[in-house]
Structure 1
Amino acid sequence: MTRMTRRTVIAAGAAAAAAPLRAQGSAIERLPIWPALPPGGERIRVRDEFVKRSPDGPPDDIAWPHVATPMLNVVPPGQSNGGAILLIPGGGYARVAVGRTGSPQAWAFAARGFTVFELLYRLPRDGWAAGPDVSLQDAQRAMRLIRAGAAKWRIAPERVAAIGFSAGGHLTARLASRHSQRTYEPVDDADRQTPRPTVAGLFFPVITMTEPSAHAHSKRELLGGDVTPARVARFSAERDLPSDMPPTLVAHAADDPVVSAANSLIMFAALQAAKIPSELHIFEKGGHSLPLEEAGKDHPWPGLFERFARRHGM
């Protein structure tokens, strides 16, 4: 396990600006999303730590069980279409499965012309004052920071989607449905921006905290021992969807052995009941993932999301 202090991470970010990390031939920018200590951390002593996801895996195949310095990886497009995507990875709220050189999913959407921002977010397990809302704080801040920097990154601030995977799908669903919830006090001019995504994509997402469909690991990490009915309802992402929730696409594999596809069915039913423009795809195979390739051909899910997103303002 590798530990990194906030000073080390920020210094590394500055070094990256001078000598950028490179993947697939393009430069990666990495930046902290808060200008100083993130909100609610005055009494905690958490440090950034990452572990390899597999002993024999690639060097950048890592996950973060503790996050003190929330970051964005900025994956540039080959030829920009003016749109941006906030990509929120999973990890069961026990860790964040994101590297430092851009995930294959990020590069796939960058190849389609989107500037992709991968989020390394804080976790409830580390004792932040916001508790289960700490990850939502970071997601809201990331959306605002992206829009505030639209001119720098040459994107249209009205064309910023959010997509999430597994527990990141739960966080994306909450970002989309709780965009009006004030989770922290403004810290700078970036916080004048709206955190509402233009479009949302939820891929093999954790959604509900209710039984029997709840993902037990995510529920435990998010809620701890406080599983009162009111708390379970509050953090079930399908509950109380607002009329201004962005158009949302949901996709899952029927054979997912980790997060039941019932989560996606529950979410789609809630979206339809709330009259939110929405689309659902249940693929026969895929496990707890949706691959970029299948049988030597491109898997359809990125194209399906892009088509849906363009239909709704992207």
Structure 2
Amino acid sequence: MAITRRSLLKGSAVAAAALPVSAMAAAAAAPPVERLPIWPGPPPGGAGLRVRDEVVKRSPGGPADDIAWPHVATPMLNVVRAATPNGGAILYVPGGGYARVAVGREGSGIARAFAARGYMVFELLYRLPHDGWAAGPDAPLQDAQRAMRLIRASAGTWGIDPARIAAIGFSAGGHLTARLASRSALRTYDPVDAADAHSARPAVAGLFFPVITMAEPAAHAHSKRELLGTDARPERVARFSAERHLPPDMPPTFVAHAANDKVVSPANSLTMFAALQAARIPSELHIFETGGHGLPLREKGEEHPWPALFERFAGRHGL
């Protein structure tokens, strides 16, 4: 599922309002969002498919850029530049329950909030399993791996440190981010150019109200159905449960959820944190009392603590 309306529908205005005056000025001075495809040609595994990019409004009366993509033929990055860069970058992976990708074209409020903090932010529009790609449930992972490699390969162009690239994911995007972090070395596609020689491993991972496990009873039914289809054999459930088989080089990982999330059970975050601790991966968990399926940038007129908490954790680990 997607980030709640509290954090995205208000867009850049909400992000700016959550920041001090200096950060608001930086956000206002930021260049327009750039968009670029992540593959030099057609994405892998699409032979014979007739997938077309399709956009729908997330709510009839919502802002023009409050959109989602139920079909993605051209995986893209939105590049949200920092007005005052600090050399760090973030790959932002939105949610949508693997049924759609909830990201606009103009930069989300959360992306602009982190850009105002000095980070170059790259929002990922990724492909969906239901469109029939040859890689099936690994098609989104192909795009996430390619995006990370492309960002790292072009670090000099963007003015960022290739060692200071984090990945943050929300809801089903949290599942994809967790898989990117734990399966960065998994070869999901054949290299297509020099960018694919670079590592797909993020320096730090942030998982926010994430879908994690495909196992009952905590599995998010909608994401599980979209990802696995009708084939939910135990071995497939295990393979696509993000808490399973964490490698020793799993990046330091920050996990956050709201206790009153009625869409994705907080048990997902608890399960992931337990797995991270068992694997001795540097990790931090925050369960907030309220927030529902999403963590807002502001709450009751005050800046919500989660961006600063993530930034502090990530800063300790190289971002």
TM band (smaller chain): over 0.9
CA contact (8 A) 1:160 1:198 kept: yes
- 2:59 maps to 1:54: yes
**Paired residue for 1:135, among 134, 140, 143?**
140
Give the Å deviation of 1:24: 7.1
Give the Å deviation of 1:26: 2.4
C-alpha offsets along residues 235-260 of structure 1, whole Å, 9 cap, x if unaligned? Answer: 00000000000000000000001000
3-state DSSP of counterpart to 1:280? strand
CA contact (8 A) 2:86 2:119 kept: yes
**Paired residue for 1:123, among 114, 119, 128?**
128
C-alpha offsets along residues 180-229 of structure 1, whole Å, 9 cap, x if unaligned? Answer: 10000000000010000000000000000000000000000000000000
Give the Å deviation of 1:25: 5.2
Question: Would the alpha carbon gap of residues 93 and 243 (structure 1) be closer, same or farther in structure 2, given more than 3 Å must change?
Answer: same
1:199 is aligned with what amino acid?
A: V
1:27 is aligned with what amino acid?
A: P
- Corresponding residue of 1:44: 49
Q: Find the aligned partners of 2:255 and 2:111 in 1 and give their Cα distance.
A: 18
3-state DSSP of counterpart to 2:32? strand
2:153 is aligned with what amino acid?
A: A
C-alpha offsets along residues 255-283 of structure 1, whole Å, 9 cap, x if unaligned? Answer: 00100000000000000000000000000
Question: Would the alpha carbon gap of residues 259 and 24 (structure 1) be closer, same or farther in structure 2, given more than 3 Å must change?
Answer: farther
CA contact (8 A) 2:30 2:82 kept: no
**What is the count of residue pairs matched by the alignment?**
293
Alignment map for 1:246-285 (pairs within 5 Å): 246-285=251-290
Question: Would the alpha carbon gap of residues 60 and 47 (structure 1) be closer, same or farther in structure 2, given more than 3 Å must change?
Answer: same
Alignment map for 1:107-256 (pairs within 5 Å): 107-256=112-261
TM-score of the superposed pair, with normalisation by structure 1: 0.92
CA contact (8 A) 1:23 1:102 kept: no
Give the Å deviation of 1:27: 1.4
1:221 is aligned with what amino acid?
A: E
Question: Would the alpha carbon gap of residues 151 and 25 (structure 1) be closer, same or farther in structure 2, given more than 3 Å must change?
Answer: closer
Q: Find the aligned partners of 2:235 and 2:32 in 1 and give their Cα distance.
A: 46
Question: Would the alpha carbon gap of residues 23 and 258 (structure 1) be closer, same or farther in structure 2, given more than 3 Å must change?
Answer: farther
- 2:107 maps to 1:102: yes
Give the Å deviation of 1:284: 0.1
CA contact (8 A) 2:29 2:83 kept: no
Give the Å deviation of 1:78: 1.6
Q: Find the aligned partners of 2:267 and 2:277 in 1 and give their Cα distance.
A: 15
Q: Find the aligned partners of 2:48 and 2:223 in 1 and give their Cα distance.
A: 25
- 2:315 maps to 1:310: yes
The structure whose RCO (Cα within 8 Å, separation 6+) is larger is 2
Q: Find the aligned partners of 1:33 and 1:92 in 2 and give their Cα distance.
A: 22
Q: Find the aligned partners of 2:83 and 2:282 in 1 and give their Cα distance.
A: 30
Q: Find the aligned partners of 1:237 and 1:90 in 2 and give their Cα distance.
A: 15
CA contact (8 A) 1:23 1:101 kept: no
**Paired residue for 2:82, among 77, 80, 83?**
77
3-state DSSP of counterpart to 1:309? helix
- 2:92 maps to 1:87: yes
Q: Find the aligned partners of 1:87 and 1:176 in 2 and give their Cα distance.
A: 13
Q: Find the aligned partners of 1:25 and 1:242 in 2 and give their Cα distance.
A: 38
5+ residue gaps, structure 1, are: 1-21
TM-score of the superposed pair, with normalisation by structure 2: 0.91
- Corresponding residue of 1:16: none
Identity score, percent: 76
